[in-house]
Amino acid sequence: MGALDSMPNATIAETSLRDDAAAMQSERGIRAILTRWWVAFLLSSVCVVSGHLMIKAGLNALTGAGGANSGLIGRVAHAVRQPEVVGGLLVYCFGTVCWMIAVSQKDISFLFPLSSVNYVLVVMASAVLFAEVISTKRALGVALIVVGMIVLNRKSAKERA
pLDDT digits 0-9 by tens, 11-21: 665 666 566 66
Query: Is pLDDT of 72 > 80?
Result: yes
- The answer as to whether 4 is a domain residue is no
Residue-number span of the structural domain to which 34 is assigned: 9-160
Please count the structural domains in the chain: 1
Per residue in 105-140, pLDDT tens?
Answer: 999 988 998 899 999 999 999 999 999 999 999 999
- What is the reported pLDDT for 157? 63
- Side chain identity at 130, as an amino acid letter? F
Per-residue pLDDT band at 149 (split at 50, 70, 90): confident
DSSP codes of every residue in the chain: --TTTTS-HHHHHHHHHHHHHHHHHHHHHHHHHHTSHHHHHHHHHHHHHHHHHHHHHHHHT--STT-TTS-HHHHHHHHTTSHHHHHHHHHHHHHHHHHHHHHHHS-HHHHHHHTTHHHHHHHHHHHHHS-----HHHHHHHHHHHHHHHHHHPPPHHHH-
Quick check: is 3 in a domain?
no
Q: Is pTM beyond 0.85 here?
A: no
Q: For residues 41, 46, 47 and 52, what is the CA-based torsion angle, rounded to 10 degrees?
A: 130
Q: For residue 2, is it within any domain?
A: no
CA 145 to chain centroid: 20
